[in-house]
C-alpha cells in the first residue's frame, strides 16, 4: 500500500506548475432563480436550459456536439433541478439508449446499449468505477456517451460511459440554500456558496444532507456530502483547480421481491423479503483532485489531471435467494461483503492546432497512468445458533420479513482476496477538416493493464497482463450548417479485475478480456438555434461476457457473446421561448449468440433490455422573462414508458411493461426565492423499474411528492 501511495503522490506532483501572467475580472450577471447560469468555456456557451452545445468529454477537445461522430446526451443542471432528480437512475431515464439494473441495491448499475456494467462511471473524465450510489448535489451536468469509448476513457466502457461533471469555483458570486421535504419522510438540505477571493483565486463550498424512509417496509436512507473547491488563475494562460470531497451513503439494502411462475410475485408493494435490520450498506468516499491547464502562445494547450479516491464499502443483506415454491414459501439467503479500494489516476494531454496544406488538424496526444488497489472479503450467513451449517431459511410469502439469529462467517468458497491493477496508456487523436463540409476524427489508444491477484483464502496468486489497442474512426458530413451526418467505428476491451476474478473459474478463457465493437450511423440537427434533434442507428457486438448465474446469483458465468442492435432518437431544447422539452425514444434488440447451458440458450434476449423505451419531459412557463423581473409560474409534465424485459439471461422471468406520469409546478416568488413541487407516478402505476436477477425485483414507488424551496442571498 505504501508503494501505491508513493506512486500516487508522485503522479500528483505533475499537477503543480508555476503561475504566470495577469488576471481578468469576470462579469457578474444577475439572473432570476429559475435560470441556472450558462456555463462558458473560452467564450462559448456550453449549456442553455436543457440543451448543451459543446463539450470536451467526447474528444478531450472543445468541440461542438454536432461535430462528434457519436451519440452524446447531456442532462444539464437545470434539468436535474426541474425534475428534482435524486439519483443517477433518475438522470438516465431521460437519456435514449440507456437503462438501469438493480445492482443488488447497493450500487449504481447503468445498462448502456444493452450492456449491464458498473465499470463505465467517470467523474470529470476520470475513472470512478467503485460500487456505490452517487449523488448530484455538486454536479453541473451528466454526460452520457454511447458506444465503446476506450480511445478517450480507457478500458471498459462497454456500451458507453457516464461522466459526471462537477461544479467548480469561479468568479460569479453565488449563495444558495435548498430545503426539500416529501413523501415517506424525505428530508434534504443542500447548499452552494461560491466566492471570488481576488482576481487570482475563487473558492466554492457545496454540501448536502439527506434523511428519508421509503414506501418499502423497514427501508431507510441517510447520506451526506461535502465538497470544497479552489480555483487559481493567472490571466488566460494558466488555471489550477483543487478539490476534496467526502461523501457517505448509508441505506437499507433492499433487493425487492421474488418471482412466481415467471412474473413478479403479486404481493404488497411494501413487503420486505428478508431482514431489513441485518440488510445494511454503507459507502464512504474520500477523493482529492488536482487539475492544471496552461495555454501557450503557439496554439498549444497542456493539461494534467490527478485524482486519488479511497472507497470504503460494506454490504450485508438477507434476501430472496429463489422463486416462490408451490408450498407458498420463499428461500431466504444471506451474506455480507466488504470492499476497500484506492484509486490513483493521472492524465496528461497536449492539444494543438496545425495546418498541413489544405487540411486543418486539431491534434491530441496523451498519457494515462493508474493504479487500483482492492481488497474484498465475503462471509456467508448461517441461520440458527452458532455452529449452524444451514444457509437457507424458508419463509412464508404471507410473512416474508423475518427476525431470526444469523451468524456471518467465511464459507469454503467465500472471497478473500487482494488485487493490484496497474494501467499505462498512450493515445493519439486527429480531428481533420478535409473539406468545408467534411471532417474526420481518427484515434488510437494503446493500453497495458496488469492485474496482480491474490486469493488470501487459498494462497493462490495470479498475474494477468493484457496489452490492447482501441481504435476509433468517424466521419462527419454537413450538407448544410445546422445538419450533420456521421458514421463511426470504435472498439474497446475490459480486462478482468477485482471482484470479477473472485467469482469466475480462473481458467484461461475466464482471464481473456471482454471485447466490444460498435458500428454507428446518425444525424444531429439544430432545428432552430435552441432546439436539437439527434438520431442514431447502431450495432454493438460483445464477446466473453460475465453474467449472473441464474442458478447461483452470488457467482458469474461466461457467455460467448451478445449482439445488440438499436435505434435512438433524442430531443433537447426549446420549442418556443416558454416551452422547454427533453427526452427520447429507444428501440433495441439484444440477443445471445451461443448456447451456454441448458437454460441460457442461443437467441435468448440479454437481461434488462426493453425493446421500446420512451421518455418525454415538458416544461411550460406562463410568464417568460424579458428584461425586468416578472414573477412567473411554470408547469411540467413527463411520461416514461418502458416495455417488458427479462430479469436474467435464462429468460425465465419477464418483468411487465409500464407507463408512468410525472408532474411539477414552479413559482419564482422573487428573484431570490423559488418554490417547486414535484409529483412522481401521478397515475399510480404498479411497476418494476429495475431487477438484479429472477428473484430480486424492485417495485416502483406508488406515488410520491417532493416540495422544495430554493433561496439565493
3-state per-residue secondary structure call for 13-69: HHHCCCCCCCCCCCCCCCCCCCCCCCCEECCEECEECCEECEECCCCCCCEEHHHCC
DSSP one-letter code for 278:
G
pLDDT tens, residue by residue, 54-99: 889 999 999 999 999 999 999 999 999 999 998 999 999 999 999 9
Give the pLDDT of residue 33: 35
List for the chain the helix, strand, coil content (%; round to 5): 5, 60, 35
Contact (Cβ atoms closer than 8 angstroms) between residue 470 and residue 438: no
Residues 675/681/683/689 CA torsion (nearest 10 deg): 160
Lowest mean pLDDT among 61-65, 469-473, 545-549, 639-643: 545-549
What CATH number is attached to the domain comprising 49? 2.40.170.20
Q: What mean pLDDT is predicted for residues 237-241? A: 95
> How many domains does the chain fold into?
1
In whole angstroms, give the CA distance from residue 444 to residue 473.
9
pLDDT tens, residue by residue, 258-317: 999 999 999 999 999 999 999 999 999 999 999 999 999 888 999 999 999 999 999 999
In whole angstroms, give the CA distance from residue 206 to residue 167.
9
Q: What angle do CA 237, 238, 242 make, to 5 degrees?
A: 160
**Hunting for cell 430480486 — which residue is that?**
696
Give the pLDDT of residue 511: 57
Q: What angle do CA 137, 138, 142 make, to 5 degrees?
A: 95
Give the pLDDT of residue 624: 56
In whole angstroms, give the CA distance from residue 168 to residue 494.
31
Distance (Å) of CA 426 to CA 4, 369, 450, 468, 473? 21, 9, 15, 11, 17
Closest to 549 (Cα-Cα) out of 695, 657, 432, 423: 695
Q: What is the mean pLDDT of the chain?
A: 88
pLDDT tens, residue by residue, 338-374: 999 999 999 999 999 999 989 999 999 999 999 999 9
Distance (Å) of CA 582 to CA 38, 430, 472, 620, 665? 18, 32, 29, 12, 17
Question: Which domain, by its residues, includes 288?
Answer: 2-712
Contact (Cβ atoms closer than 8 angstroms) between residue 426 and residue 413: no
Closest to 310 (Cα-Cα) out of 244, 222, 227: 244
Lowest mean pLDDT among 504-513, 564-573, 685-694: 504-513
Give the pLDDT of residue 348: 98
Give the pLDDT of residue 412: 86
DSSP one-letter code for 257:
B
Closest to 145 (Cα-Cα) out of 63, 70, 79, 65: 70
pLDDT tens, residue by residue, 364-422: 999 999 999 999 999 999 999 899 999 999 999 999 999 999 999 999 889 899 999 99
Q: Phi/psi of residue 79, each to 5°?
A: -65, -40
Q: Which span out of 30-39, 157-166, 644-653 was modeled with the highest average pLDDT?
A: 644-653
Contact (Cβ atoms closer than 8 angstroms) between residue 299 and residue 352: yes
Say yes or no to pLDDT of 585 above 70: yes
Q: What mean pLDDT is predicted for residues 164-168? A: 96
Lowest mean pLDDT among 142-146, 242-246, 514-518, 520-524: 514-518
Give the pLDDT of residue 625: 53
Residue 23 pLDDT grade (very low, low, confident, very high; cuts 50, 70, 90): very low
Give the pLDDT of residue 505: 45
Distance (Å) of CA 459 to CA 313, 340, 415, 455? 24, 20, 12, 5
In whole angstroms, give the CA distance from residue 534 to residue 53.
13
Q: What secondary structure does DSSP assign to 387-414, as a single string? A: T-----EEEETTS-B----EEEE--TT-
For residue 501, give the 3-state DSSP assignment. helix
Q: Where are the alpha helices (DSSP H) in 325-388?
A: none
For residue 105, give the 3-state DSSP assignment. helix
In whole angstroms, give the CA distance from residue 48 to residue 83.
16
Residue 559 pLDDT grade (very low, low, confident, very high; cuts 50, 70, 90): low
Element containing residue 254 per DSSP (H, E) = none
Lowest mean pLDDT among 410-424, 428-442, 623-637: 623-637
In whole angstroms, give the CA distance from residue 577 to residue 564.
38
For the whole model, what pTM was predicted? 0.89
Distance (Å) of CA 221 to CA 87, 89, 250? 13, 16, 6
* CA neighbours closer than 13 Å in the CB half-sphere of residue 681: 15
Closest to 11 (Cα-Cα) out of 341, 422, 352, 311: 422
Say yes or no to pLDDT of 550 above 70: no
Task: Give me Rg for the CA atoms of the chain.
Answer: 25
3-state per-residue secondary structure call for 651-709: CCCEECCEEEEEEEEEEECCCCEEEEEEEECCCCCCCCCEEEECCEEECCCCCEEEEEE
Give the pLDDT of residue 629: 59
Residue 514 pLDDT grade (very low, low, confident, very high; cuts 50, 70, 90): confident
Give the pLDDT of residue 168: 96
Amino acid at each position: 500500500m505504501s508503494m501505491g501511495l508513493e506512486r500516487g503522490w508522485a503522479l500528483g506532483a505533475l499537477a503543480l506548475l508555476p503561475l504566470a501572467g495577469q488576471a481578468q475580472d469576470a462579469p457578474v450577471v444577475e439572473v432570476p432563480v429559475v435560470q441556472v447560469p450558462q456555463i462558458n468555456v473560452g467564450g462559448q456557451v456550453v449549456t442553455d436550459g436543457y440543451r448543451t452545445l459543446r463539450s470536451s468529454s467526447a474528444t478531450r477537445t472543445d468541440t461542438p456536439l454536432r461535430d462528434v461522430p457519436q451519440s452524446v446526451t447531456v442532462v444539464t443542471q437545470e434539468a436535474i433541478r426541474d425534475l428534482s432528480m435524486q439519483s443517477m437512475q433518475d438522470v438516465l431515464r431521460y437519456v435514449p439508449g440507456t437503462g438501469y439494473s438493480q445492482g443488488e441495491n447497493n450500487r449504481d448499475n447503468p445498462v448502456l446499449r444493452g450492456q449491464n456494467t458498473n465499470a463505465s462511471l467517470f467523474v470529470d473524465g476520470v475513472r470512478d468505477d467503485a460500487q456505490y450510489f452517487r449523488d448530484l448535489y455538486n454536479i453541473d451536468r451528466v454526460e452520457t456517451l454511447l458506444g465503446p469509448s476506450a480511445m478517450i476513457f480507457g478500458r471498459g466502457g462497454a456500451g458507453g460511459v457516464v461522466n459526471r461533471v462537477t461544479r467548480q469555483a469561479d468568479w460569479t458570486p453565488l449563495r444558495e440554500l435548498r430545503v426539500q421535504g416529501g413523501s415517506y419522510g424525505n428530508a434534504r438540505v443542500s447548499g452552494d456558496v461560491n466566492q471570488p477571493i481576488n482576481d487570482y483565486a475563487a473558492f466554492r463550498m457545496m454540501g448536502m444532507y439527506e434523511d428519508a424512509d421509503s414506501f418499502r417496509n423497514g427501508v431507510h436512507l441517510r447520506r451526506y456530502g461535502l465538497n470544497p473547491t479552489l480555483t487559481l488563475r493567472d490571466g488566460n494562460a494558466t488555471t489550477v483547480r483543487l478539490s476534496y470531497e467526502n461523501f457517505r451513503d448509508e441505506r437499507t439494502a433492499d433487493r425487492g421481491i421474488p418471482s412466481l411462475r415467471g412474473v413478479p410475485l403479486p404481493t404488497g408493494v411494501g413487503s420486505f423479503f428478508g431482514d431489513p435490520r441485518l440488510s445494511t450498506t454503507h459507502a464512504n468516499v474520500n477523493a482529492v483532485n488536482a487539475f492544471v491547464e496552461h495555454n501557450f502562445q503557439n496554439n498549444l494547450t497542456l493539461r494534467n489531471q490527478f485524482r486519488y479516491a479511497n472507497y470504503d464499502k460494506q454490504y450485508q443483506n438477507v434476501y430472496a435467494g429463489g422463486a416462490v415454491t408451490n408450498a407458498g414459501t420463499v428461500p431466504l439467503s444471506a451474506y455480507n461483503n466488504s470492499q476497500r479500494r484506492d484509486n490513483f489516476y493521472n492524465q496528461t494531454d497536449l492539444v494543438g492546432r496545425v495546418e498541413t496544406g489544405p487540411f486543418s488538424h486539431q491534434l491530441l496526444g496523451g498519457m494515462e497512468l493508474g493504479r487500483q488497489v482492492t481488497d474484498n472479503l465475503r462471509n456467508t450467513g448461517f441461520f440458527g445458533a452458532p455452529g449452524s451449517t444451514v444457509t437457507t431459511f424458508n419463509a412464508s410469502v404471507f410473512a416474508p420479513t423475518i427476525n431470526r439469529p444469523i451468524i456471518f462467517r467465511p464459507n469454503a468458497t467465500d472471497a478473500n482476496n487482494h488485487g493490484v491493477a496497474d494501467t499505462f496508456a498512450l493515445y493519439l487523436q486527429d480531428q481533420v477538416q478535409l473539406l468545408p463540409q467534411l471532417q474526420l476524427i481518427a484515434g488510437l489508444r494503446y493500453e497495458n493493464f496488469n492485474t496482480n491477484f491474490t486469493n488470501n483464502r487459498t494462497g493462490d496468486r495470479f498475474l494477468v497482463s493484457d496489452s490492447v489497442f482501441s481504435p476509433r474512426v468517424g466521419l462527419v458530413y454537413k450538407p448544410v450548417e445546422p445538419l450533420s451526418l456521421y458514421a463511426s467505428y470504435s472498439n474497446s476491451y475490459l480486462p478482468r479485475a477485482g471482484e470479477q476474478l473472485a467469482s469466475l473459474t480462473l481458467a484461461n478463457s475466464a482471464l481473456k478480456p471482454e471485447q466490444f465493437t460498435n458500428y454507428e450511423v446518425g444525424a444531429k440537427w439544430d432545428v432552430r438555434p435552441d432546439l436539437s434533434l439527434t438520431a442514431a442507428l447502431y450495432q454493438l457486438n460483445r464477446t466473453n461476457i460475465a453474467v449472473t448465474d441464474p442458478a447461483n446469483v452470488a457467482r458469474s458465468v461466461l457467455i460467448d457473446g451478445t449482439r445488440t442492435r438499436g435505434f435512438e432518437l433524442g430531443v433537447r431544447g426549446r420549442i418556443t421561448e416558454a416551452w422547454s422539452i427533453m427526452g427520447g425514444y429507444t428501440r433495441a434488440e439484444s440477443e445471445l449468440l451461443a448456447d451456454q447451458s441448458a437454460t441460457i440458450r442461443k437467441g435468448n434476449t440479454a437481461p434488462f433490455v426493453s425493446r421500446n423505451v420512451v421518455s418525454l419531459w415538458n416544461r411550460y412557463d406562463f410568464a417568460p422573462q424579458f428584461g425586468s423581473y416578472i414573477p412567473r409560474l411554470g408547469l411540467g409534465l413527463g411520461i416514461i414508458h418502458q416495455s417488458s424485459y427479462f430479469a436474467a439471461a435464462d429468460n425465465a422471468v419477464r418483468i411487465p411493461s409500464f407507463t408512468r406520469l410525472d408532474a411539477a409546478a414552479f413559482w419564482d416568488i422573487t428573484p431570490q426565492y423559488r418554490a417547486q413541487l414535484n409529483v412522481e407516478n401521478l397515475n399510480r402505476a404498479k411497476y418494476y423499474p429495475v431487477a438484479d436477477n429472477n428473484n430480486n425485483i424492485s417495485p416502483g414507488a406508488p406515488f410520491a411528492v417532493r416540495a422544495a424551496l430554493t433561496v439565493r442571498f
